[in-house]
Copies of this chain bind each other. A is one copy, B any other.
Amino acid sequence: MLSQVPIIDSQSEIPVYRQLYIGLRDGILAGVLRDGERLPPTRELAQLMGLNRATVSAAYALLEEEGLISGQVGRGSFVHYRSGALSQEISFATSRPAEELFPLEEVRALTTEVMRQSATAILQLGSPFGYEPLRQYLMEQATAEGVFDPEEDDLLITSGCQQALDLIHKALMEPGETAVVEEPVYPGLKHAFEGRLSLSGTGIKFVTPSFRNPTGYTMTMAERHQLAQGRERLLVEIDIYSRLRYAGEPLPAVRGLGCQHRCLLLRSFSKIAFPGLRVGWLIGPRPLVAKLAAAKQWTDLHSDQLSQAILLEFARTGGLDRHLARVLTAGRERLRVTLETLAAVLPPGSLFTRPEGGMNLWVTLPEGCDAAALLEKARRAGVSYLPGRYFGLSSGFNASLRLSFAGLSPGRIAEGLRRLEPLFSEEARIAARMKEPAPEMAMV
Contacts and interface: CB of A to CB of B under 8 A. Distances in A.
B123 A290 contact: no
Interface stretch (A209-217, A295-303, A410-418, A426-434): A295-303
Contacts of A305: 276-277
Interface stretch (A2-10, A365-373, A392-400): A2-10
A302 B154 CA distance: 26
Contacts of A119: 102, 104, 107-108
A278 interface: yes
Interface string A36-51: 0010100011011000
Contacts of A274: 123-124
A162 B300 contact: yes
A145 to B, nearest CB: 20
B293 A278 contact: no
A163 B40 CA distance: 25
A1 interface: yes
A286 interface: yes
Given A119-B108, A286-B40, A1 B124 contact: no
Nearest to A76: B151
A111 interface: yes
A48 B291 contact: yes
Interface string A307-340: 1001000000000000000000000000000000
A350 interface: no
A contact patch SS: helix
A274 to B, nearest CB: 4
A276 B97 CA distance: 27
Contacts of A374: none
A112 to B, nearest CB: 5
Given A160-B300, A276-B123, A45 B104 contact: no
A207 to B, nearest CB: 20
Given A96-B125, A102-B120, A124-B96, A1 B290 contact: yes
Nearest to A261: B44
29 contacts: A1-B289, A2-B286, A2-B287, A2-B290, A4-B290, A5-B287, A40-B286, A40-B290, A47-B287, A96-B124, A99-B120, A99-B124, A102-B124, A104-B115, A107-B115, A107-B123, A108-B115, A108-B116, A112-B115, A124-B275, A125-B270, A126-B275, A162-B299, A162-B300, A166-B300, A188-B301, A192-B298, A276-B305, A278-B301
Interface of A: 1-5, 38, 40, 44-45, 47-48, 94, 96-97, 99, 102, 104, 107-108, 111-112, 115-116, 119-126, 128-129, 154, 158-160, 162-163, 166, 188, 191-192, 270, 274-278, 286-291, 293-294, 297-307, 310
**4 nearest A-B pairs in the assembled complex, by CB-CB distance:** A191-B298, A123-B274, A304-B304, A2-B290
Given A1-B154, A3-B129, A108-B112, 12 more contacts: A102-B119, A104-B120, A111-B115, A121-B276, A123-B275, A123-B277, A162-B298, A162-B301, A166-B299, A166-B300, A191-B297, A300-B300
